[in-house]
């Protein structure tokens, strides 16, 4: 049976009207928020969304609020026509592709903040970033009102920020974290991989190698400081500018892993023009 091509909506009013019709037909809704420049990682999220609900909504919106003053908002790859073509081959029924003016008609006068999680790790290196993420995701969830929202675990901190926001604001939405989709080399798929040269793309797989090295060590010892230092230096020597390489409690990244049952190893590093992030969850035995 051929896949029905999705309908593209550009305004809040249009998408709300359509989704109310969907609900009136007794159908469930799942939602995948994206910034476009779609790749296999996004496609896997959409396939997961289609397993959970009858009607899949994908948003494409490059959110200016989550970019810092010297970050890549203007350069961020925008590939709407290609994205629409790809989505027409996937189980996606509605695409929401608004303008900045549609989402922020009066600019930014209200912000959503999750302070316990927003100022550490990536938040320390990108001040205000997670306030921008929480605000836009809150807006999108209020527009779409899905039963499920599917997000990638590659953005581990972002996932925890959004899970916490949805829980604290009593939003009747299930946040579903989907496993990271990787290149054959182990490199986590990301739209920002487009910034990498072929040589850099090969080198970028060293991030996942470091995560695996640390995971093996973590199975043997909790005294990880010396091994973390060695891996940070190894990545630096390879050409990365390492923002952080740390181990946290997988269930609450603001907490230590020492007494946790699950740890997460998190890395963020710059390679050329690309800022790359990745993580690996490790089950701990005491």
- Active-site residue numbers? 42
| Residue 100 DSSP SS3 | helix
- In sequence order, the 6+-apart residues with CB closer than 8 A to the CB of 20 are none
Asked if 253 and 120 count as a contact pair (C-beta separation under 8 A), the reply is yes
Please state, in angstroms and rounded to a whole number, the distance separating the CA atoms of residues 142 and 146.
9
Helix ranges (DSSP H) in the chain: 12-24, 40-52, 80-87, 100-103, 115-118, 122-125, 129-144, 156-168, 198-204, 206-218, 225-238
Report how far residue 89's alpha carbon sits from residue 267's, in angstroms, rounded to the nearest whole number. 34
Tally Cβ neighbours within 10 Å of residue 118: 25
**Residues 228, 233: Cα–Cα separation, whole Å:** 9
209-225: b (≥16 Cβ within 10 Å) or e:
ebbebbbebbeeeeebe
């Amino acid at each position: 049976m051929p896949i029905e091509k999705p309908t593209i909506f550009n305004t809040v009013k249009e998408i709300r009207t359509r989704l109310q019709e969907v609900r009136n037909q007794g159908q469930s809704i799942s939602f995948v928020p994206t910034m476009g420049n779609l790749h296999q990682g996004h496609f896997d999220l959409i396939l997961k969304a289609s397993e959970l609900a009858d009607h899949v909504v994908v948003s494409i919106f490059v959110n200016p609020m989550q970019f810092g003053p010297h970050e890549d908002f203007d350069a961020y790859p925008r590939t709407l026509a290609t994205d629409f073509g790809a989505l027409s081959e996937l189980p996606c029924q509605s695409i929401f592709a608004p303008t900045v003016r549609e989402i922020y008609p009066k600019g930014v006068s209200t912000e959503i903040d999750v302070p316990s999680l927003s100022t550490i790790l990536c938040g320390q290196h990108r001040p205000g970033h997670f306030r921008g993420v929480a605000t836009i995701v809150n807006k999108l969830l209020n527009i779409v009102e899905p039963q499920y929202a599917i997000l990638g675990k590659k953005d581990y901190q972002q996932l925890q920020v959004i899970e916490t926001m949805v829980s604290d604001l009593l939003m009747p939405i299930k946040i579903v974290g989907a496993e990271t989709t990787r290149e054959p080399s182990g490199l986590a798929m990301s739209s920002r991989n487009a910034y990498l040269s072929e040589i850099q793309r090969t080198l970028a797989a060293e991030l996942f190698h470091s995560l695996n090295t640390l995971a093996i060590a973590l199975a043997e010892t909790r005294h990880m400081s010396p091994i973390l230092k060695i891996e940070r230096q190894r990545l630096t020597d390879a050409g990365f500018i390492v923002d952080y390489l740390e181990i946290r409690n997988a269930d609450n990244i603001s907490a230590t892993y020492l007494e946790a049952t699950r740890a997460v190893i998190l890395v963020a590093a710059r390679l050329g023009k690309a800022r790359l992030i990745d993580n690996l969850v490790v089950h701990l035995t005491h």
